[in-house]
Amino acid sequence: MSTKKKVTLRQMGGSVGATLPREYVDRLHVEAGDELYVMETERGILLTPYDPEFDEAMAAYERTARRYKNALRELAK
């Protein structure tokens, strides 16, 4: 489902900011002071509360955990 909302950019000190409509704030489960990640994709700009490097780190962990499962089990004791 694609919804279209217009936002206005505002000068905020040396930066430019946009105010997110309440609907998007609620859908993203964010509030004032939270950090969002902005990424450029093939389809445009992606705004997300999820750290894109976290998935990469978890994938690396899973590869390592499988390979060294017995060593990690011993270290956990």
* Of residues 40, 42, 44, 35, the one with CA closest to residue 4: 44
- What does the pLDDT read at residue 6? 86
pLDDT digits (tens, 9 = 90+) for 6-64: 889 999 999 999 889 899 899 889 999 999 999 898 999 888 888 888 888 888 888 88
Q: With 70 as the cut, is the pLDDT of residue 2 above it?
A: no
> Who contacts 9 (Cβ-Cβ below 8 Å, separation ≥6)?
16, 17, 18
Side chain identity at residue 52, one-letter code: P
Q: Which of the pair, 66 or 35, is modelled with greater confidence?
A: 35
